[in-house]
Amino acid sequence: MMLSEKTIIGKVVLNVENMEDMKNFYTSIIGLDIKKETEQSLKLGAFGDEQVLLELQPVAPVGEKPNATGLYHLAFLLPTRKDLGEILYHLLVSKYPLTGASDHGYSEALYLDDPEGNGIEIYTDKPKSMWDIRKDGQIAGVTEPMDAEGVIGEAKEEFQGMPKGTYMGHVHLFVAELEETEKFYQDVLGFDLKFKFGPQAKFFAAGEYHHQIGANVWAGKNIPAAQKGLRGLDYFTIVVSADEFTQVKDNLDAKEYAYQLDESTQTLSLEDTNGIAIKITTTN
């Protein structure tokens, strides 16, 4: 079973300790629009779109967080290079510290951390004609300095917030080890392995995309699963077609992989081999 290119990452749900600080950051610095706000959660997305890309939910502060599996970064995919230029200029004017700005061959990307240490990537894809697509279907990536002047030069106006058409391009995870992770995302869920970064990282995608799931062992091999209810990643969603939802469920049954099914929302809830929670659904 292989997932089709219609598959997308839906939303990322984060547990946060200081909701006010995180709300201000994601609306003022990142430029997300508030879709719904309650005492239990804050749902955010791009302006002009109803889709929720990020959900914040409050948890009690715990002090130092133990090293564990979880989120390396979430990644907002912008529609155009112009959009990337506008948010880059906005971040520079805001004097919010960036942790990186890279050309990956298939994309150009900015990196920063939110106030609670969650990694964020904001990127735009290059035309597919510029991707290094190998004969076996793998898509090789590189990490080189981004042409920041060229990107800013594409900006046409002041940043007005995350533009319509932005979505969650991928999630990149800290995992305990890579072999079982590959078996899960490829054999159980149906993603295709797109690239290996030596013994350190692997990248998976549905269809012909460069990656929708990244996995690395940069936090250490055989690290424990994150404790539930701590700040950081709670879960992320994968949105599939109705037909593929049934195929994934059947594959989970065939492999006797544990999950919970909510028939009212057509949602499969499960954990990967690293204890990272995932929800698979047909709608976001």
User: pLDDT band for position 65 (50/70/90)?
Assistant: confident
Please report, as a single letter, which amino acid is at residue 246: T
Residue 43's pLDDT is 99
Per the CB < 8 A criterion, the answer to whether 199 and 178 are in contact is yes
Question: For strand 107-113 and strand 201-205, is the pairing parallel, antiparallel, or unpaired?
Answer: unpaired
Please name the residues in contact with 139: beta carbons below 8 A apart, sequence gap of 6 or more: 106, 131, 132, 133, 194, 195, 205, 209, 210, 211
Section 101-118 average pLDDT: 98
**pLDDT (mean) for 268-277:** 99
With CA atoms as reference, report the closest residue to 123 among 145, 141, 146, 107.
107
Taking the whole predicted model, whether its pTM rises above 0.95 is answered as yes
> CA 102 to CA 210: how far, in whole Å?
16
User: Which residue, 108, 115, 52, is CA-closest to 81?
Assistant: 108
Instruction: Determine the pLDDT at residue 202.
Output: 98
Instruction: Classify domain 8-281 by CATH architecture.
Output: Roll (3.10)
Mean pLDDT of the chain: 97
